[in-house]
Structure 1
Amino acid sequence: MTVRVLALVGSLRAGSHNLQLAEAAVRHAPEGVTVEIHRGLADVPFYNEDLDVPDAAPAAAAALRAAAQEADALLLVSPEYNGTIPAVLKNAIDWLSRPYGAGAISGKPVAVVGTALGGYGGVWAQDEARKSAGIAGGAVLDEARLSIPSSGTRFAATHPADDAEAVAGLRQVLDQLAAKAIEGAEGAADATDAEAVAATA
């Protein structure tokens, strides 16, 4: 089984170190794992229930939901803005949480990583992202963490994909995501088999 991971980056800046961290995840994904960065978050409108009409949601929001639905797991890559989660990432989670109880994030393994200018690597924002994704229905892996401090100096001349420690941390998180996704797929298959046996009994 190839595990498909969708990466959502909470910074829209072209030179974002968090975007680069996601790019490093793409380049160094473990065997059996593929990572795709969703590039359309800038076009997703702020969540408004008046816009969230069945079969007529805004195109960018529908594309986000479709990408999450097709993925086996989500990797949220978050900087820290004023001590908390960036609005663009929170908005993505809000769209993925609906319809309530059946959103595209529901039951999906989710891990949160990131880097920030400060000495703690954006842990406040990343903790908020975990909380929000969990309430939205995601199966958040609390133990899968990577917070890289001092991004402005650490990645001033080095792409995270060329930083051995960052790559090792990303690969560990992706391994954990993949294991959770495979566990979920096997559980679903066992449940289907059990239902088939019961139906023919």
Structure 2
Amino acid sequence: MTASKPTSTILAISGSIRADSHNTQLLRAAQKFNTGQEIEIYEGLRDIPPYDQDLDTPELRPAVVNELRRRVMEADGLLIATPEFNYSIPGVLKNALDWLSTDWTRTEGLPLNRKPTAILGAAPTNFGTVRAQIALRQVFVWTDNDVVVKPEVHVFRSHERFDAEGNLTDETTIELLQLLLTNLQSKIDSAA
């Protein structure tokens, strides 16, 4: 009898803190339509204070930041859904990434370094989150995340792809989401 392969754990982060965010709904759809992973949605983005290098040590960091860093380090991969604000990623998401990108004491390790990561996003516009995802990919060049390149999941006109209860109903988007998760799993498997 062969032992079954352990389930990968994915920490999912929505760059939107809005209650009815299509990006958060997209992450809930990832939980529903996952391809074998355990996907947990991080809900503490609103509580993370502005990045302050004077406090960026294990002893001085706010507890919520140390908790996020721990969860990222323990996760096998990241799934980040970002809206687009002013042709870029929201400040709350960039702020969290700033807290995750450092190890000034050289004792903890870099939470994002080589972390398998998939990006997606939803927006009500015709262009989706194309520019935000490009900006996020630029951040991940510096942090050296292992980012899934294809498929690019830009859920444009997102208000037409979810029902009144926030369920993803668009079959094409579901297929792209599942392919993205499959490709993220391949990166996780390669890193093991």
TM beyond 0.5: yes
Matches of 1:29 and 1:55 in 2, distance apart?
37
**SS of residue matched to 1:147:** strand
1:125-170: CA deviation from partner (whole Å, max 9, x where unpaired) = 0111111123112111222420010123433636343332222111
Residue 68 of structure 2 aligns with which residue? 64
CA distance in 1, matches of 2:115, 2:147: 8
**Whole-angstrom CA distance in 1 between matches of 2:30 and 2:161:** 17
- Give the distance between the partners of 1:35 and 1:81, measured in 2 at CA: 26
SS in 1 for 2:12: strand
Q: Which residue of 2 aligns with 1:167?
A: 174
Contact 2:79 2:119 in 1 (8 A): yes
User: What residue number does 1:113 align with?
Assistant: 120
Q: Tell me the residue number matched to 1:83.
A: 87
- Residue of structure 1 equivalent to 2:19: 14
8 A Cα contact 1:41 1:88, kept in partner: yes
More off after superposition, 38-47 vs 158-167:
158-167
Q: Select between 150-159 and 18-27 the one with higher mean Cα deviation.
A: 150-159
Residue of structure 2 equivalent to 1:37: 41
2:111 aligns to what SS in structure 1? coil
SS at 2:86 equivalent: coil
- Looking at structure 2, the residues matched to 106 and 35 of structure 1 have their Cα atoms a distance apart, in angstroms, of 20
State whether residues 111 and 145 of structure 1, in contact with CA within 8 Å, keep that contact through their aligned partners in structure 2.
no
- Tell me if 1:130 matches 2:137: yes
Tell whether 2:157 aligns with 1:155.
no
Match of residue 3 from structure 2: none
2:142 aligned with 1:139, yes or no?
A: no
Give the TM-score of the pair, scaled to structure 2. 0.89
Asked if the contact 1:80–1:116 (Cα under 8 Å) also holds between the matched residues in 2, the reply is yes
Structure with max Cα Rg: 1
The residue that corresponds to 1:4 in the other structure is 9
SS of the residue corresponding to residue 56 of structure 2 reads coil
Partner of 1:46: 50
* Structure 2, unpaired ranges of 5+: 1-5
Indicate if the aligned counterparts of 2:161 and 2:168 stay in contact, CA closer than 8 A.
no
Specify which of 59, 63, 68 is matched with residue 55 of structure 1: 59
Structure 1 stretch 125-134 or stretch 8-17: which is displaced more? 125-134
Aligned-pair Cα RMSD in Å:
1.7
TM-score if structure 1 supplies the norm length?
A: 0.85
Partner-residue secondary structure (3-state), 1:5: strand
Q: Does the 8 Å contact 2:146/2:187 carry over to 1?
A: no
Higher helix share: 1
Output the CA distance in 1 between the equivalents of 2:133 and 2:77: 17
| Percent of paired sites with the same residue | 38
**Cα distance between partner residues in 1 of 2:136 and 2:80:** 8
Query: How far does residue 13 in structure 1 lie from its aligned partner after superposition?
Result: 0.5
Change (3 A) 1:95 1:35: same
